[in-house]
Amino acid sequence: MKVLPVVREQGAGSGSRRSEPQERLATEGTAPRSLLPEGVVRAAVLADVPALEALQAPYVATGDLLPRSNYDLCRHIKEWVVVAEPGDGSILGCGALKIYSAELAEVAGLAVRRDRQGVGLGRALLEALLTQARDHGLAQVFALTRKPDFFLRLGFAPAEKEQFPEKVWADCARCPRQNCCDEIAVALRL
């Protein structure tokens, strides 16, 4: 099972579970590290798709996440990371990095199972995605979210949707809520 560098390379053997991106974010005024076991964030695989659908379903129902079809998840599985229970491997959280250009990507589909929220899994997922973004040499990531405070806490800054026409064309243009959108744009320069 491939484990993303954000957890293993930076945290393993150091006695610290904080990854380098966490340290960078921490210098930007973020909260103390979470107490995560190492090796829990990994790249998603096709076998995770049913669990991704199940995890996201309640948040799609509340409008916190955009609906994504099984086809879409399978087709873009390489964009996704998951956080898995070390014991039985069940999927506790997920997120995706959707690349729009050589400079810009979106953090999307970030979700943690309700009974596991508040213990640092969302942070770990976001940091895994930010590590990927930096590895790709991207300059900026953004998110459109109804939970802006989560992102602001982790170093993002408020932004304007109009700064990201790629997103508007990819998703907003066909979104049923495009005229009553309550999502807030946030962005982080890498």
Ligand X SMILES: CC(C)(COP(=O)(O)OP(=O)(O)OC[C@H]1O[C@@H](n2cnc3c(N)ncnc32)[C@H](O)[C@@H]1OP(=O)(O)O)[C@@H](O)C(=O)NCCC(=O)NCCS
Judged by beta carbon, residue 16 or residue 102, the one nearer ligand X is 16
Question: For ligand X, which is the closer residue by CB, 102 or 114?
Answer: 114
Beta-carbon contacts of 30 under 8 Å, excluding residues fewer than 6 positions away, are 22, 153, 154, 155
CB closer to ligand X out of 126 and 138:
126
CB of 188 to ligand X, least distance (A): 13
CA dihedral 59, 63, 65, 67 (to 10 degrees): 100
Q: Angle of helix 121-135 relative to helix 20-27, nearest 10 degrees? A: 100
Strand 140-145 and strand 184-189: the pairing is antiparallel
Nearest approach in angstroms of CB 147 to ligand X is: 4
Residue number with CB closer to ligand X (49 or 154): 154
Residues in contact with ligand X by CB under 6 A are 31, 34, 59, 64-65, 110-112, 117-123, 143, 145-147, 149-150, 153
Residue nearest to ligand X (CB): 122
Cβ atoms 43, 75 nearer than 8 A: no
Nearest approach in angstroms of CB 148 to ligand X is: 8
Report the SS3 class of residue 9: helix
Minimal distance in Å, beta carbon 46 to ligand X?
A: 22
Q: Is 13 or 27 the residue whose CB approaches ligand X more closely?
A: 27
Tokens 């959280």 belong to which residue?
93
State in angstroms the smallest separation of the CB of 109 from ligand X: 7
CB-side neighbour CA atoms (13 Å) of 78: 2
